[in-house]
Amino acid sequence: MARKALGLALIALIAVMARSQPARDLAGLPPRIQLLAGRTQLVPWDLPFPCYAVGQRGITVDGRGLGRQAVRLAAAPLALRGARPGRYAVQLWLFRLVPFRTIRVQVRPLVRVVPGGQAVGVLLHPGGVLVVGAAPFPSRAGLVDPALSAGVRPGDVIVAVDRHPVHSDAAVAQRVLASGGRTLRLLLRRGGREVTRPVRPAWDLAADGYRLGLFVRHSVAGVGTLTFYDPARHVYAAVGHVIASGGMRVPLGRGVLLDASINGIRPATDGRPGEKLGTFTPRKAPLGNVRRNAAVGVSGRIYRRPSHGIASALPVATPDQVRPGPAQVLTVLSGRQVRSFAIRIEQVRQAARGGRDIVFRVTDPTLVERTGGVVQGMSGSPILQDGLLVGAVTHVFVNDPSRGYGVFAYRMLSLAGLAGRSA
């Protein structure tokens, strides 16, 4: 009878405590946590009754190694640490009697890189002529767009016209004007494969010549910011988002990364993004090449150490280590000098996509005064917090330029070929 009464009392106590705020906090513990090998991560924890943890070797909780023996948890925040990369499970128990929650822990390698912040020029060549849009024109048959009607699409790269390689919009125009209106065979690169489309140019009544009805570009250039580089492996990542033209990703034939200088700032206002006014010289020795143009930025090989930045390497945070609170952004406002400015991370969104993992607000009065907040050209500027590289600037809130978005820096490691490599 005594045991039965004790059991009922324990069940009643658990039922009452389950409605308490500490118990709700426990229920809100994440089912999955990522750690960096060798670094301690604090997890919120505040319970008035005894709790225990059982887990696999390789994980420590509050400085004590887990195993089959239950470890009593402290009242302070949970201090988790993983000794080596791998996947682990930590099971939480109430009173050593009731299993309450299993947390899956993934320990990732600790990767150190040097934060950037330097202004860089990015020059991309698609390996032909990129089709960026349609340009209908008046002909004897009315308004026409011969190329699109023949199956050419925006995003295609014109590699050759009648087997003649083309590397500029002028070369394409010359072949079209010389066609006399006969059908041309366009060799296109589309999504990693080659296709051929026969196109018959039409006579443009306004331009007095034959045309295909396309907007094309043979290169795309812009100014952004270096996010990080690894001087040992000679790789880098920059910009933080895909480089596009006409709303489409620029296919990459070859590309170069160049030193850039900021000559002025056009401040942002509500409803109008601002801009860094930067220059770079394509003829100068490049800082590196561009091998990838992906959703989270550009990357490639870096030939030398950039100047004016932070010299020491920092660990790259896992997404779980990024938190709301004070942080810093590294960027250039004048010349080539990298400076640190205060921001505040307002939201961390683990399931976000499109470079919107982090929402932040610029709090540094100097940066607000000079730029109005976040401006074009800041994309890729590294975000630091608690001695870690946590992200990179990607976008601005158009109607509130004091706020911006960032992508997790950890997402950019695989872009540079550093994911899974310890340092």
Kind of pairing between the strands at 98-108 and 32-36 = parallel
pLDDT of residue 90: 84
pLDDT at residue 27 greater than cutoff 70? no
Assess contact for 110 and 422: CB atoms under 8 A: yes
Residue 391 forms beta bridges with which residues? 383, 408
* Mean of all residue pLDDT scores within the chain: 87
Which CATH number is associated with domain 225-415?
2.40.10.10
Residues 39, 81 contacting (CB under 8 angstroms)? yes
pLDDT tens-digit series, residues 51-81: 778 877 788 887 788 776 777 877 667 788 8
Residue 29 predicted with pLDDT over 50? yes
Question: Would you say residue 1 has pLDDT above 80?
Answer: no
pLDDT band at 13 (very low <50, low <70, confident <90, very high): low
- For 274-322, the pLDDT digits (tens) are 999 999 887 788 999 999 999 999 999 999 999 888 878 999 999 989 9
**Span 374-380, average pLDDT:** 95
* Rounded average pLDDT over 393-405: 92
Share of the chain above pLDDT 70, in %: 91
Residues with Cβ within 8 Å of 405's Cβ and at least 6 positions away in sequence, in order, are 355, 356, 357, 358, 359, 360, 393, 394, 395, 396, 397
Q: Could you tell me the fold of the domain covering 127-217?
A: Pdz3 Domain (2.30.42)
Quote the pTM value: 0.83
Neighbours of 29 (CB within 10 A): 15
Provide the pLDDT for residue 21.
53
Domain ranges of the chain: 2-108, 127-217, 225-415
- SS3 for the chain is CHHHHHHHHHHHHHHHHHCCHHHHHHHCCCCEEEEECCCEEEECCCCCCCEEEEECCCEEECCEECCCCCEECCCCCEEEEECCCEEEEEEEEECCCEEEEEEEEEEECCCEEEECCCEEEEEEECCCEEEEEECCEEECCEEECHHHHCCCCCCCEEEEECCEECCCHHHHHHHHHCCCCCCEEEEEEECCEEEEEEECCEEECCCCEEECCEEEECCEEEEEEEEEEECCCCEEEECCCCCEECCEECCCCEEEEEECEEEEEECCECCECEEEEEECCCCCCCCEECCEEECCEEEEEECCCCCCCCCCCEEECCHHHCCCEEEEEEEECCECCEEEEEEEEEEECCCCCCCCCEEEEECCHHHHHHHCCCEECCCCCEEEECCEEEEEEEEECCCCCCEEEEEEHHHHHHHCCCCCCCC
User: Fold match between 2-108 and 127-217?
Assistant: no
CATH 3.40.50.620 fits 2-108, yes or no: no
Cα-Cα end-to-end distance for the chain: 61
Which conformational region is residue 191 in: left (phi greater than 0), alpha (psi within -120 to 50 degrees), or beta?
left
Instruction: Identify residue 321 by its one-letter amino acid code.
Output: Q
